[in-house]
Every structure is written in structure tokens, then in C-alpha cells.
Amino acid sequence: METLLYYALTAGFAMVVLSLVLAFFRLVKGPSLPDRVVALDMMTLMLVVFCGLTAISFGHGEFLDVALVLAIVGFLATVALARYAERSHEDRTGDGEDDR
């Protein structure tokens, strides 16, 4: 059973690293702000998964605390970037009300 866990963790780490590389490519290439926001959110999710795999691999529960904090920060960053994208879209199109 331990051998199966080793192979599963190795495959999990490989897939997480591959998805991080692909998401980073999308983050750099774009072409639009929503693409970049989704790529950043995916990278945050993959880092949470990486922390979870590390916790299983080394048997340290502290990595789960790090994963939880990272997930909360990633969620807040996604909400903030979505709000920024919405405001910049309203400024460009002039659809929003002037609440200043």
C-alpha cells in the first residue's frame, strides 16, 4: 500500500507542477484581464493542492494551515481583481453611475 501512495503522490506533484507551468504561461500571455485573473486563481488553487500533497507526503499537519490561509488570501485576491475588472470596464464603456 505504501508503494501505491508513493506513486500517487509523485503523480500528483507532477500534475500540479505541470498545471502551474501552464497557468503561468496563460498569466503571462493573456490576452485579456479575465484570462489573467483566472490563471492567477488557478495558480493559487494549485499551490493549495501542493500544500495538501506536501502535508500527506511528510505527515505534517502544519501545511494544511498554510493551505487554508493561502486559499483565503487567493479568494480575496480574486474578488478584488474581479471588482477592479468590473470598475475598469464601467469606466471604459461609461455604463456605471457616477457615485463619487
Report pLDDT digits (tens) over 31-87. Answer: 888 888 899 999 999 999 999 999 999 999 999 999 999 999 999 998 998 888 888
100 pLDDT above the threshold of 80: no
Q: What is the DSSP string of the chain?
A: -HHHHHHHHHHHHHHHHHHHHHHHHHHHH-SSHHHHHHHHHHHHHHHHHHHHHHHHHHT-THHHHHHHHHHHHHHHHHHHHHHHHHHHHHHHHT-S----
Higher pLDDT, 90 or 59: 59
16 band by pLDDT with thresholds 50, 70 and 90? very high
Q: Which domains does the chain have, with CATH numbers?
A: 2-93 (1.10.287)
Cell of 34: 479575465
How confident is the model at residue 19, as a pLDDT?
96
